[in-house]
Each structure stands twice: as structure tokens, then as C-alpha cells.
Amino acid sequence: MKIVSQIREPIEQEMELFEEKFHKSMQSKVALFNRITYYIVNRKGKQMRPMFVFLTAKLLNGKVNERTYTGASIIELIHTASLVHDDVVDDSDKRRGFFSINALWKNKIAVLVGDFLFSKGLLVSLENKDYDLLHIISNAVRDMSEGELLQIEKARLLDITEEVYYDIIRQKTATLIAACCSMGACSVRPDSDEVETFRKFGELCGMAFQIKDDLFDYGAEMIGKPTGIDIKEQKMTLPLIYALNQSDSEKKRWLINSIKNHNKNKKRVKEVIEYVKQQGGLEYAVTKMLEFKDEALAILDNYPDSEYKSSLTLMVNYVVDRKK
């Protein structure tokens, strides 16, 4: 059985019902919106984020409730909106192997569709008077925006320390996975300590997830050819930051000059990738990624064994073991 199917098995019924509810939450009176959202729904990904919501709720409560479905819908709406907007910002014409919304319908419509999905995510919580869930997602949206802007600001100066890098990925990536888990906990145990405990759990998973993404840029762990996309986009990732910290002033100048002024030169990008590998940047990033993973698993150790705990454990391991 594929790993994602194994993770999903204890919440299969909930996920099927969620998909029905999610489709309804995306509907609009405008035919063009419905055509585009139909396109989005039929090209959905693994839906890891709603799975985090349901597994957390069931780990804590043994069952879900209507608020859990609301939480999962909010998360998926906001996540989908952020992907649509990301493709516009990155000028990307592909998403999961298919044409992106902006490639098919142009940027203006893609931005409006993203805005529509964001507003739907907020309205779903308001319509059900789930103000605590609205609070969780509003904080996440703020953090995601700040994280992206912080990354852009730092890319111009290339003065990212390891601590600043963690701040960026905490806000940009980890905050939404943290929201999934705190949303799941809040849906069944509002005002309990578990809401914060599972926010932390999700954040740790998200940190490991983003470092794994950084490693893909270097073709790490026999995943395939290095892409160098992050270098071309002047993104300071953990392997690169570590290599910079290990370099003398001459090599530092060469690295920064390569990223600032020669990031479109394939030969130079390849040289940077090789240098980062030689300096032990990949091994260091893997070590840090595994530390975040182990911290997340340590939180789960405080809960009794169940099929939901097993699935969450599988999920955490999948985050760092995935091949794409």
C-alpha cells in the first residue's frame, strides 16, 4: 500500500465527506469561478493538510465533529488560494504537472480567484460562528505574508543568518501546517493546552518539510539532478547558509557574487551546488531536518498508541523521506 494511502486509511470516511463539503464551499454564482474551481478540484494534490486536521482531532477525541470539517475546509481553501497567488508571484505556468490558473486564465483572473478563495476560507468560519478557528487561520495568513516578504527583503541583501532563515520558513511554510494541527485540536478540545501543543507539533513538521524542499534543489539523496532553482531565484537556503558560514572571506565573496550576479549562468550555478556539497551543506541540513522531525515525534510519544497516532507518525516520517 502506498504510504499516503496508509496515512489516510483511519480517516478515509472523513476525507470522502470532507471532499464533498469542500466542493460545496468553493461554489460561486459566477460561472467562470465555478469553471476554474472545478479545474482546481480535479487536480488536487495529496491533501496532506486536511489529513493533519482530521488525524489530530481523532487522536485527541477518537472522533471528529462538524467543526473539524469546517477547520479542514478553511485550511484547504486558504492553502489553495496561496498556491494560486504563488504561481502569479513566481510567474509559474505549471502546478503539479498541469497548467497553472495564471497560465490558462492570465494573472488578473488568477489573483481574483485567489482572493475569492481567501474570502471563502474566512467566511466558512464566520458562517459557523467558529471565531476561534478564524483566529488561528488569520494568524497563519499574516505569518505567511510576512514570511514571503522577509524572504524577498533578505534576498536583495543576501544577509540571512541561520536564525533568520528559520524565521522565514517558520512563517512561510510551517505556520500553515501548525494551523492544521491546532485547528484539529481546537475543533474537538477548544481552550485546552492541546491547541498549543499541536500547533508546535505542526510547526516542527513544517520546518522539516521546508528543509526537505531545500535539499531537492541540490538533487540530494539520489532524488535526481540538481535543479538550482532556489539559487536562480536568489533564495538563501540552509545548505547554502551553512556553506557560507564555513567559507573564508574570498570564498564568501565568490558565493555571494555568484548568487547576486551569475545566478542565471548554468555553469556557475553548478559550481555553487558542488561547492555547497563539498562544504557539507547537505549533511548539515539533513541533520537539522531530522532534529525537527524527532522533536515532532517526541510530542506524539506523550499520547497513547492508536491508529491515528500511527498515521501521524507515518506522516512525520513521510515529510522527510518523500522523493518529491
Residues 6+ apart with CB under 8 A from 3: 314, 318
Q: Which pLDDT band holds residue 97 (cuts at 50, 70, 90)?
A: low
* Whether pLDDT at 219 is above 80: no
Comparing CA positions, the residue from 162, 314, 175, 178 lying closest to residue 237 is 162
pLDDT at position 95, please? 66
Average pLDDT over residues 302-310: 95
pLDDT at position 227, please? 61
* DSSP per-residue string spanning 137-198: HHHHHHHHHHHHHHHHHHHHHT---HHHHHHHHIIIIIHHHHHHHHHHHHHHSTTSTHHHHH
pLDDT at position 307, please? 95
pLDDT at position 206, please? 96
Q: Which pLDDT band holds residue 262 (cuts at 50, 70, 90)?
A: confident
User: What average pLDDT does the chain have?
Assistant: 86
CATH number of the domain residue 104 falls in: 1.10.600.10
* Whether pLDDT at 55 is above 60: yes
Q: Which pLDDT band holds residue 223 (cuts at 50, 70, 90)?
A: very low
More confident residue, 41 or 199: 199
Q: How many domains would you assign to the chain?
A: 1
Q: Which pLDDT band holds residue 266 (cuts at 50, 70, 90)?
A: confident
* Whether pLDDT at 312 is above 70: yes
pLDDT at position 224, please? 46
pLDDT at position 54, please? 97
Cα 251-217-82 angle, rounded to 5 deg: 120
Average pLDDT over residues 175-203: 96
* Whether pLDDT at 72 is above 50: yes
The least confident of 2-16, 124-138, 224-238, 274-288 is 224-238
* Whether pLDDT at 185 is above 90: yes
Average pLDDT over residues 160-167: 89
Residue 54 belongs to domain spanning = 3-321
Average pLDDT over residues 118-139: 90
Average pLDDT over residues 35-42: 76
% of the chain residues with pLDDT over 90 = 45
Q: Which pLDDT band holds residue 181 (cuts at 50, 70, 90)?
A: very high
* Whether pLDDT at 297 is above 90: yes
3-state secondary structure of 304: coil
* DSSP per-residue string spanning 184-246: HHHHHSTTSTHHHHHHHHHHHHHHHHHHHHHHHTTTGGGTSS---HHHHTT---HHHHHHHHT
% of the chain residues with pLDDT over 70 = 93
* Whether pLDDT at 225 is above 70: no
